[in-house]
Amino acid sequence: MQGGFEAEEPVKKTLADFKSIMYEEVVVKSYLFMVAALLITAFAAFTVSPYAAIKMLTGYNFYLLMFGELGIVFASNWAISKNNAVLAGILYTIYAYLTGVLLSVICMIYTGSSLVKVFLLTAGMFLIMAVYGLVTKKDLTKMGNILIMALWGLILATVFNMFIFRGSMVDFALSIVGVLIFTGLTAYDSQKIKENVYMANDSNVLCLSLMGAFELYLDFVNLFLKLVRLFGKKK
């Protein structure tokens, strides 16, 4: 029996070393994929005519696009669960492009200089929290669960404000809450990459990287949108 336990030790050490190497690769690729998605979004935002985007967002087109993006998120999660990295990558690219189409309207409303400043602010805040999530020894799971529940509350409050209250002060307050939520989620999702790697049994590196990239991308874009509402200068 003792020999059996001794034989297990090298196996455990080898597995731990493999997971450590895999984790480093997933982290690097997650951030590379996130940056690639941001570039696709920026390309769409600056090349798609804002007037064409407005036309796409009027009437039923807005709901088609909104539910279409939501469907892409669920489809991408399904593809990742099936280890289909190709399909997940395609869906991720489509989502990034559609987000750029939506953001092209923002480029028409706000000045370019203010958008650049807000982008730099977003990048700085994101970088600080992402690094914190990677290096901290503190378990952020509890905080992440609270933030996810708060996010659902924010979504519900935003919908109510759009169709019922329609108050600018309420919108301002919700934007502040949104900044706090997505700032915290950035650290949580950054740390969660490690958890996903060590919990995975048969997931490949590309799928894990795409999953991490998608979550970080959503954190960045939503943080940017909330900061634009707070600090963006309208034309």
pLDDT tens digits along 111-147: 989 999 999 999 999 999 999 999 999 999 999 999 9
Q: What DSSP designation does 57 have?
A: T
Angle at alpha carbon of residue 177, lines to 175 and 180, rounded to 5°:
110
Res 171 pLDDT > 90: no
User: Which amino acid appears at position 69 of this protein?
Assistant: E
**pTM to 2 decimals?**
0.87
Considering all CA atoms of the chain, what is the largest pairwise distance in Å, rounded to the nearest integer?
76
User: Which amino acid appears at position 157 of this protein?
Assistant: A
pLDDT band for position 160 (50/70/90)? Answer: confident
Per-residue pLDDT, 136: 94
Give the residue ranges of DSSP H helices in the chain: 2-47, 50-56, 60-81, 85-109, 112-135, 141-160, 168-199, 205-231
Q: How far apart are CA 15 and CA 18, in angstroms?
A: 5
Per-residue pLDDT, 169: 86
For 64-118, how does the pLDDT look when each residue is reduced to its tens digit (9 = 90+)?
Answer: 877 888 899 999 999 998 889 999 999 999 999 999 988 888 888 899 899 999 9
Q: How far apart are CA 194 and CA 212, in angstroms?
A: 10
Per-residue pLDDT, 5: 45
Q: How far apart are CA 83 and CA 194, in angstroms?
A: 18
Q: How far apart are the first and last CA of the chain?
A: 76
Q: Which residues contact 132 (CB under 8 A, 6 or more apart)?
A: 187, 190
Average pLDDT of the chain is 86
Measured CA distances, 106 to 99, 118, 195 (Å) = 11, 12, 36
| Residue keyed to tokens 């028409």 | 108
8 Å CB contact between 19 and 201: no
Measured CA distances, 57 to 52, 61, 72, 139, 214 (Å) = 9, 5, 18, 41, 23
Radius of gyration in angstroms for the set of CA atoms belonging to the chain, rounded to a whole number: 20
Per-residue pLDDT, 20: 73
Res 24 pLDDT > 90: no
Res 11 pLDDT > 50: no
Per-residue pLDDT, 67: 82
Per-residue pLDDT, 7: 44
